[in-house]
Structure 1
Amino acid sequence: MQKINFNSMDYQGLLEAVFLAAQDAISVVDEKGEHILVNPAYTKITGIEHDDIIGKNALYDIEDGEESVHMKVLSTKKPVENTKLKLKPSGKTVVAQAAPINVNGEMKGSVAVLHDISTIKDLTDKLEEAEKKLREMTYKYKPEDIIGSSMAINEVRNLIEKAAKVPATVLLRGESGTGKELFANSIHAQSSRSHKSFVRVNCAALSDSLLESELFGYDEGSFTGALKGGKKGLFEEANKGTIFLDEISEISLNTQAKLLRVLQEKEIMRVGSNKNISVDVRVIAATNTDLAKAVKEGRFREDLFYRLSILPIKIPPLRERKEDIPLLVKSFIAKFNDEYGRNIVDISDDALVILKAHDWPGNVRELENIIGRAIIYMNINERVIDTIHLPQLDTNKIQNIVKSVISTDDAGVTSLDNVLNKAESEYIYNVYLRFDKNKTRTAKELGISLRSLYYKMEKYGIS
């Protein structure tokens, strides 16, 4: 390699050209820690003009509380590597490296090079946000979030474990507030698709045309306002994962036909396209209506109904699993303690009597709301939920029922469970007699399934 010789003027000019052209920000301070030299990249990254920084202390260009690499070099007389700093006034994040300037064995100052990592940080933040959304999309409930030990909930839990092992379509049937999304999440979380997306769609919340474009996507120019390049539909987003179609009864017959095609052919066609796209998606649908009745009335396609009903699972209403109320209340107390910053430790027996005697038309969601409101009503020094904190419920009426049960029991009823069991037993027996021992009509009047009625009659010895 040929050696190039520079005279002193050439060398000084070369150094100055390199200094000014460098993409990384460079700053130099003297032995007192005052800026004596900066390059254009420095003024760009800090937002400080050249003449405004010269003569200023090394702490001038960094946020309060940050440690200056220049001052560290001057105090230790050693180089400093890869120190993360936040600049002012620009607010940009940099990684700084600094080294001492020694002339004839004497330290005359410090030189620092600043690498702008704001763009990298922005990308990292966006990546973390995307990963967070993906985790939320994957599933927000876990199998252990299914609270309860009743026979009714254990039966559902067993069905869900079986459903998770196969890719069959599942139809969840249950009243509003029973937690159908929780059970759908649980199926996905226990399945082989758990590492892929869980996409929830509220079919009742979107118009027919919007629902179609959301489910199946669209091509560019397919309608006014369509995005350039088109858009993936939710079936594509859920590929290899699970799509949860909540309120499935609310979709139009036209969209039902297209959904049926997806289930049969495992293909979708975007709005405005004639190209088929293969998808591998596990479908879980949910409804709070009688789909069989909707089929008879012509509001729901019979072929789609049978496609969806390969594995039907009925979620029991809370009135059929009242023995789970104490465990549910405990979980809600823990949840609201965390959300509201409270320290509620328990619920009184009297309050539990009130809760167990209520019919719960809004199911678990209603119970959650009532516990949340009760905690809000409580004074900051109160630790136990009592009947006074449950003004939404007709506590006087319920307490009178319980008192009447206790007063008519010669042996005395001492425990909470005995009180409630005695009240439930007498109520079921009275309804049973009122309908001339017709079990179907009795179950309908009580708002429970025929199977639950048989279980309760056997439990209480009603014949």
Structure 2
Amino acid sequence: MKGIGEDLMQENGNHLNILTTVLEHAYEGIVVVDQQGVITHFNQAYSRLKGISQQQAIGQNVTDVIENTRLHHVLKTGVPERGRLQTISGQDMIVHRIPVWEGETVTSAIGILVFDGVSDLYEILEQIESKEHTSTASAPSVNRGKQPTERTNFDTIIGRSEAIMNTKRIARKAAKTLATVQITGESGTGKELFAQAIHDQSPYADGEFISINCAAIPEHLLEAELFGYEEGAFTGAKKGGKPGLFEAADYGTLFLDEIGDMPLSMQSKILRVLQEKEATRVGGLTPYQTHVRIISATNKNLISMIEEERFREDLYYRLNIIPIHIPPLRARKEDIPLLLATFLENVCRKYEIEEKHFLAESISILTHYPWPGNIREMMNMIEQLVSLVDEECITPDKLPAKILTENSTVLESRSSAFSFLEKIQQKKQDHEKELLITALKDANGNKAEAARQIGIHRSTLYEKLKKFDIL
């Protein structure tokens, strides 16, 4: 046993030595601080940059050693800050600031210099731009709608949890084809954002992305909106008629949101367009060809609707060639701190308000909140907090009453469950104590005999007698 313990200690020591060596010889500057913001590690690269020895830095508060640092803020908020600009020793640097969580507590934080100076980054960007310029110099100038830099890509969809990464993997594959896509998910999960990203990364990216909410347009107007109409097709029809969304989205994407609310009569017409690749304006006689990629979305259970004869089965299979499900926030809790920090920063910038941050306790409460309204509810809450909270730090008492009430309910439920488990444990111990006393009586106080009757080793019996204070 002693040998195993020594081997484990030696193995742990080796791992620690390897980690220390990596930190020391990393090209990037690395600093580690404890829960109080005191520097516990300061590698050689950072030492050279700052012009002070490692011994001088270690043991000091990070704010006294590194100017413009925000590691102490990261300790408070528990939210990582990646790719931020920071001026250190007169140079603009790109840095990462990473909190280290143990359970629900931030115990330390790590600061990493990604580039020793922004000039390194500029050189890389200039090389890329030079290559792009060379490859496109002879190409004709063509206006194709959105420029590539303006397009939505999947990296802009925030989240690193396995649930959302898996959804993004499927969506990336879907974007490479022109197959129909059906996006499902609760209200507020970001279905249209995914649809836009799929379009912007697809072969039809140069065409229009047109979104229509099937639940928002009256049934008698929906057909004219989708397929267009000819002059005189109905009372109030425009002179000269009007093209429909299928025409406007030619060689682009038509996003049919809330497809589950589309009337059955319109479902059959959409099915025909998907099958025949042609449509006819209301009041018209001549069909026109359609070259449109269809992405649909719903928060309803279409399979149940098919069983209830409220949704066409044949249309379902036409739309559901590539199914994509977006998980609700409660299924990707590890993404919540990053979402909160990103949205808070964006809203502060939008309203031109000094940057705010959440206290770590606030983030813990918000992470355990179920978010029935998902991303939409989170955005609503953050805009409300930015508008109403004057302080830089958003403490738990500033959170909406609904969230605090939910948190209290969760805590009470946990407390009740813990109390129930305690009672079960106490009953088990009472029963065990009673069994020991009975065995000793039956054995006339002979402990070896009592242990044999119970079926335990004599040393174990002594431990239990001591535990229950039985003489």
What TM-score bracket applies, with the shorter chain setting the length? 0.5 to 0.7
Match of 2:398 among 386, 389, 393: 389
Deviation at 1:393, TM superposition (A): 3.0
How far does residue 364 in structure 1 lie from its aligned partner after superposition? 1.1
Whether the 8 Å contact between 2:278 and 2:287 is mirrored in structure 1 is yes
Aligned counterpart, 1:307:
318
Compute the displacement of 1:253 (Å).
1.1
1:172 aligns to 2:183 (yes or no)? yes
CA distance in 1, matches of 2:313, 2:287: 25
What corresponds to 1:196 in structure 2? 207
Match of 2:248 in 1: 237
Secondary structure, counterpart of 2:186 in structure 1: coil
Unpaired runs of 5+ residues, structure 1, are 1-130, 410-425, 427-463
2:363 is matched with 352
SS in 2 for 1:204: coil
- Residues 139, 198 of structure 1: 8 Å contact kept: no
Letter in 1 for 2:194: F
Counterpart of 1:374 (choices 385, 396, 399) is 385
Cα shift readout 1:16-50 (whole Å, capped 9, x = no counterpart):
xxxxxxxxxxxxxxxxxxxxxxxxxxxxxxxxxxx
Q: How far apart, CA to CA, are the structure 2 residues paired with 1:387 and 1:139?
A: 37
Question: CA separation in 1, counterparts of 2:378 and 2:298?
Answer: 20
Pick aligned residue for 1:259 from 261, 266, 270: 270
User: How far off its partner does 1:388 sit?
Assistant: 2.1
Q: 2:174 is matched with which residue?
A: 163
Report the CA distance shift for 1:230/1:404 in structure 2 as closer, same or farther (over 3 A): closer
TM-score by length of structure 1 reads: 0.56
Paired AA for residue 384 in structure 1: C
Measured against aligned partners, the alpha-carbon deviations of 1:85-130 in whole angstroms (never above 9, x if no partner) come to xxxxxxxxxxxxxxxxxxxxxxxxxxxxxxxxxxxxxxxxxxxxxx
Whichever residue aligns with residue 383 of structure 1, its letter is E
Number of matched pairs: 276
Aligned counterparts, 1:76-95, within 5 A = none
Residues 1:270 and 2:288 are matched in the alignment = no
1:367/1:385 CA distance change after superposition, 3 Å: same
Is the 8 Å Cα contact of residues 143 and 189 (structure 1) preserved in structure 2?
no
Greater mean alpha carbon deviation, residues 201-210 or residues 390-399? 390-399
1:282 and 2:293 matched: yes
Kept after mapping to 1: 8 A contact 2:151/2:197: no
Deviation at 1:145, TM superposition (A): 2.8
Q: Is the 8 A contact 1:370 1:392 kept in 2?
A: no
Aligned counterpart for 1:330 among listed residues 341, 352, 377 = 341
Q: Which residue, 239, 255, 258 being the options, matches 1:247? A: 258
Q: What CA distance in whole angstroms lies between the structure 2 residues aligned with 1:193 and 1:392?
A: 46
Change (3 A) 1:396 1:263: closer
CA distance in 2: counterparts of 1:141 and 1:227, whole angstroms: 35
Identity %: 47
CA shift, 1:394, in A, is: 3.9
Correspondence 1:421-440 to 2 at 5 A: none
Assess if the C-alpha contact under 8 Å between 1:139 and 1:189 holds in 2: no
Displacement after TM superposition at 1:330 (Å): 1.5
Instruction: Tell me if the contact between 1:375 and 1:389 (Cα under 8 Å) persists in the aligned partners.
Output: no
Q: Contact 1:156–1:313 (CA<8 Å) still a contact in 2?
A: yes
Q: Deviations over 1:275-297 (max 9, x none)?
A: 11001000000000000111111
Give the counterpart letter for 1:210 in structure 2.
Answer: L
Confirm or deny: 8 A CA contact 2:180 2:293 kept in the other structure: yes
Comparing 345-354 with 300-309, which one deviates more in the overlay? 345-354
TM (norm. structure 2) is 0.55
- Note the C-alpha offset of 1:139: 8.4
How far the C-alpha of 1:211 sits from its partner, in A, is 0.9
Contact 1:201 1:245 in 2 (8 A): yes
Deviations 1:339-390 (A, max 9, x none): 21112242111111110111111111111111111111211xx222221221
SS in 2 for 1:272: coil
Measured in 2, the distance between the counterparts of 1:362 and 1:394 equals 12
- 2:162 corresponds to which residue? 151
| C-alpha RMSD of the superposition | 2.7
CA contact (8 A) 1:200 1:243 kept: yes
Partners in 1 of 2:413 and 2:323 — Cα distance? 41
Q: Cα 1:349–1:399, aligned 2, differ >3 Å: closer, same or farther?
A: farther
